Structure 1
Amino acid sequence: MPAEGRSPNDRQPGPIADAVSGNWVDRRAPAAWRPYLRLSRADRPIGTWLLLLPCWWGLTLGILATGSARPHDLWIFAGCAIGAWLMRGAGCTWNDVTDRDIDGGVWRTAGRPIPSGQVSVRGAILWMCAQALVAFAILLTFNTAAIALGILALLPVAVYPFAKRFTWWPQVFLGLAFNWGALLAFTAHTGALAWPAVALYLAGIAWTLFYDTIYAHQDREDDALIGVKSTARLFGAETPRWLRRFLVAAVALMGLAVLGAAPRGDILALGIALGGPVAFAAHLVWQLGRLDLDDHGGLLTLFRANRDAGLLVVPFFALAALFV
């Protein structure tokens, strides 16, 4: 994403337009590393949070389903955090490699390291592989079923950057990739995939459609000029109605996941766990109340607010598991 006033041909590394103000990459990272860290979106942590939170949902839901936490769960919790940072970085690097020609024609993305000439395609690919290999080493510390799921996750990650070229629903492919951790972390704890985890995964996909449609409205004019598809362009002025549908789907599916995971007859644990979807729903409703499709700064603020929406779920699931 470009620096304010940056020409696409400017090769001097500088802060990115929608990076967090005063982020550590701009302030503390060695100058030679900054383009690579920007490829990984290390200056914009919201994407890591959105990839990580479904992992923590899945882990805490798995603990609720089994009724017992184990010491290894602490490593799953931490390993997911490290892995999310690495795989978000690898995925963003892959996205920038495949989108390098498109990015150069969009103001918000023209300053990214590849189209602005700060990083070569070869250098970006090597950086992507390095991140993915470290993440794979972490994956190998999980059980066999989780490892298999982690390998399968590469398919939606690989396809996503191309989705906006052939479908008006690229956000679905983003959701498939970004919420895979719900399946993986649940399985890393329980040892096997179960339908409550699938329901939680589908809830995450609906949530991704909600927040990434908001995000995509920042680019709808540029996307129209270069022919890139998105749900923002597809829905247009009907976006609020569609967002309400995604909200209802996400909350209903999350509630279904809780009903399937909570032990039968344990009303206290069930009631606490259902507080997660309720709090989650309240936050999404709050976002809808502040939605202005023409306010790009406001759209970015709402998009980033989804970290808090997702975080609200985790303590309810974790607390419910303590009472099982």
Structure 2
Amino acid sequence: MADTPTTPEPDGQVSDAVTGNWVDHLAPAFSRPYLRLSRADRPIGTWLLLLPCWFGLALAMLWDGQASLHDAWIFLGCGAGAFLMRGAGCTWNDITDREFDAKVERTRSRPIPSGQVSAKQAAAWMILQALIAFAILLTFHTNAILLGFLSLLPVVVYPFAKRFTWWPQVFLGIAFNWGALLAWTAHTGTLNWPAVVLYVAGISWTLFYDTIYAHQDTEDDALIGVKSTARLFAENSPKWLQGFLILTVALFAVAVYLAASDRSPLSLVVALAGPWAMGWHMQWQMRRLDTDNPTICMHLFRSNRDTGLIPLLFFAVAWFL
């Protein structure tokens, strides 16, 4: 870490936080550095961790045609768990990356490099969030609990991936889409092929949106030696992103077909329209992409919340057909 903390934004705000976010304006002052560690002022990451969970649950319900009050709890529990585990994961990321963050313009205002909290305080906050998430996990099926334990491995490894591979986005995808496997298993009690294919589709989607995100930092990353797919692809990024788009939609469609093929023809068609509509939203991002414009990259990255919500609307309709 730098010998002296960098100058934080006014009132400790993080430079890439959402304008007018509730943390900076409504949260008690003592809690703000910790909520910033959890990225509560930047909710898109929670959405991107949560949406694969809801994908897995929705397809599992289409798979066996069953729904219960416990599914409502899985739905809500995944929401709370995604918030907590995203917070714990981001805190871990900030602890391990504190020296890098102090050298990057966009991240030097984060709580640790700006001196708002110490690494030890951040570690305590990380453990607290993980323990609460663990309590929620214990209410799920035993096999889902086991999957939850396994998910810790990619979470721990991801922050270090940028040090040894040009493909850290793959490790992020492995971690961020684990919920597809977990929520499917929480509903069915077993892990089946539709969930596995859905999981791989999610990894491809992560490569799409996080490569766009990584283009904000390519110059700083090059100076400090941090690797990413954005740096690897460089001016060829649009071609690679188009490939990830096609792969995401194709694999997602296969997962939907495997899960819903025994339903009525109309239900299957509506469910398959979900990945198709998702692909059109990703194509909308491609038309607006400018990898040299960090503002556009951040806007498009955040728009992937809507990318993921779109197929869920189709799945909900398909359930009633």
With the length of structure 1 as denominator, give the TM-score of the two structures: 0.96
Any idea what the Cα deviations from partners look like across 1:17-51, whole Å, max 9, x if unmatched?
11111100000111111100000000000000000
Any idea what the Cα deviations from partners look like across 1:182-211, whole Å, max 9, x if unmatched?
000011111100010011011110000000
Query: Which residue does 2:219 correspond to in 1?
Result: 221
State the secondary structure of the residue aligned to 2:15.
coil
Aligned residue pairs: how many? 317
Query: Which residue does 1:34 correspond to in 2?
Result: 32
Query: Which residue does 1:311 correspond to in 2?
Result: 309
> Shift of residue 321 of structure 1?
2.1
CA distance in 2, matches of 1:296, 1:82: 30
Aligned partner of 2:58: which letter? Answer: T
CA distance in 1, matches of 2:247, 2:6: 40
Pick aligned residue for 1:171 from 169, 172, 181: 169
Residues 1:21 and 2:19 are matched in the alignment: yes
Query: Which residue does 2:289 correspond to in 1?
Result: 291
Which ranges of structure 1 fall in alignment gaps of 5 or more residues? 1-6
Aligned partner of 1:93: which letter? Answer: T
Query: Which residue does 1:155 correspond to in 2?
Result: 153
Query: Which residue does 2:237 correspond to in 1?
Result: 239
CA distance in 1, matches of 2:29, 2:66: 47
Structure 1 residues 265 and 126: alpha-carbon distance in aligned structure 2, compared to 1, 3 A threshold? closer
> Shift of residue 12 of structure 1?
7.2
CA distance in 1, matches of 2:209, 2:237: 11
Listed as ranges, the matches of 1:83-232 within 5 Å are 83-232=81-230
Tell me if the contact between 1:11 and 1:117 (Cα under 8 Å) persists in the aligned partners.
Answer: no
Tell me if the contact between 1:48 and 1:85 (Cα under 8 Å) persists in the aligned partners.
Answer: yes
Aligned partner of 1:244: which letter? Answer: Q
Aligned partner of 1:268: which letter? Answer: L
Pick aligned residue for 1:52 from 50, 53, 60: 50
State the secondary structure of the residue aligned to 1:116.
coil
CA distance in 1, matches of 2:51, 2:164: 29
> Shift of residue 318 of structure 1?
2.2
> Shift of residue 11 of structure 1?
9.2
Any idea what the Cα deviations from partners look like across 1:148-193, whole Å, max 9, x if unmatched?
1111100000000000000000000000000000000011111100
Identity of aligned residues (%): 66
Which ranges of structure 2 fall in alignment gaps of 5 or more residues? none
Say what the alpha-carbon RMSD is for the aligned residues: 1.2
CA distance in 1, matches of 2:237, 2:56: 29
Tell me if the contact between 1:172 and 1:205 (Cα under 8 Å) persists in the aligned partners.
Answer: yes
Structure 1 residues 11 and 309: alpha-carbon distance in aligned structure 2, compared to 1, 3 A threshold? closer
> Shift of residue 219 of structure 1?
0.1
CA distance in 2, matches of 1:11, 1:116: 9
